[in-house]
Amino acid sequence: MPVYQTVLKRPALRMFIIARMHSHRTHVRVRYAETDQMGVVYYANYFVWMEVARVEFCKALGFRYRDMELDDGVLLAVVDAQCRYLYPARFDEDVIVETRLGDANPRIVSFAYEMRLAEGDRKLATGSTRHIFCNQEMKPVKLPARYRAAFGIE
């Protein structure tokens, strides 16, 4: 039997491979309130867009981040966030935030983001976030086994 058929018969390994290759696109329409006096998107809003895209990315992986919080008591606390601004976005433009899974282990996960204009595909910014899995008391915990394949953790 070919190796790829063996891999596809193992659900956890299949999810691991999908998670590592997968990216997700989230569309965000720039609201007037997100712009500054210069008419461009205020820099902090890019971090809000990354959060929106991260939640949508989790849905695309097959679970709701909200359910992970409510049902399992596991939160994703941000320990590092970066954004490199390349070109300004303006009111009413359609922005695509592409999210990819970075490094992950049972305690920490990172995500990479690329923000582009939908029209013309101009790159606006790149970013990353790193998160620690923690409980409601903000104490570090290991990610429950049922989510590990979705995060590409064997």
CB 117 within 8 A of CB 94: yes
Beta-strand ranges (E) seen in the chain are: 23-29, 75-85, 94-104, 108-117, 123-134
pLDDT score at 17: 53
Alpha helices in 62-118 (DSSP H): 65-72
36 is catalytic: yes
Q: Is the pLDDT of residue 19 over 70?
A: no
Report the alpha-carbon distance of residue 91 to residue 26 in Å, rounded.
Answer: 17
Q: What are phi and psi of 86, to 5 degrees?
A: -115, -30
Tell me the one-letter amino acid at 131: H
Q: What is the DSSP letter of 112?
A: E
Adjacent-strand bridge partners of 114: 98, 126
pLDDT tens sequence across 80-139 = 999 999 999 999 999 999 999 999 999 999 999 999 999 999 999 999 999 999 999 999
Q: CATH code at 37? A: 3.10.129.10
Is 153 within the bounds of a domain? no
The pTM for the full model equals: 0.85
Is 154 within the bounds of a domain? no
| Number of domains the chain is built from | 1
For residue 14, the enclosing domain spans 3-148
- 5-19, 40-54, 63-77, 133-147: which range is least confident on average? 5-19
